[in-house]
Amino acid sequence: MHELGLIINIIKQIEKYMKENNLKKVDTLVLQVGKLSEVYPKYLMDVYPFAIEDTLLKDTLLVIEETAGIGKCKSCDFIYNLVENNNECPVCGNKQFTIISGKEFLIKEIHAY
Ligand SMILES: [Zn+2]
């Protein structure tokens, strides 16, 4: 489980940003997590309360937005949801694709005051 390391890294980035911008408190942290990113939102939620203890984010709410795993078929260029279609193009059945979205793991927004 690498989620703890990831979230600690994110918290450090935000603490740095808060200090640079003289922010006292972040109300909400919104992370964007792609379905193909190998990061499990449930684990992030589980480790988050421990990760924020004794940090500037200790009262900050975590919101996770999941983005779908979308691919483009290398054979017919059809764009489809990889997870729902088991990585197989629903038009031609080809399993070769280019990933268009779903690998994201990033800070989308912070709501601060
Ligand atoms: Zn296809």
Calculate how far, in angstroms, residue 101's C-alpha sits from the geometric centre of ligand 1: 17
The sign of the torsion formed by the CA atoms of 35, 70, 98, 64 equals: negative
What does the DSSP assignment read for 60-89?
A: PEEEEEEE--EEEETTT--EEETTTTTTS-
Determine the pLDDT at residue 1: 65
User: How far is ligand 1, taken at its centre, from the CA of residue 6, in Å?
Assistant: 35
**Positions of E strands within the chain:** 26-34, 61-67, 70-73, 79-81, 97-101, 105-112
Could you tell me if 20 and 52 are in contact, meaning their C-beta atoms sit under 8 angstroms apart? no
Q: Is the pTM of this model over 0.95?
A: no
82 CA → ligand 1 middle, Å? 12
Query: Separation of 36 CA from ligand 1 center, angstroms?
Result: 20
Average pLDDT for 3-32: 95
First to last CA, the chain: 33
Domain boundaries, the chain: 3-112
CA angle 56/7/54 to nearest 5° reads 30
Instruction: State the fold for domain 3-112.
Output: hypothetical protein PF0899 fold (3.30.2320)
Amino acid at 58: K
Q: How close is the Cα of 39 to the center of ligand 1, in Å?
A: 28
Q: How far is the CA of 86 from the centre of ligand 1 (A)?
A: 13
Give tens-digit pLDDT for 64-110.
999 999 999 999 999 999 999 999 999 999 999 999 999 999 999 99
Residues near ion ligand 1 (CB < 5 Å) are 73, 75-76, 78, 89, 91-92, 94
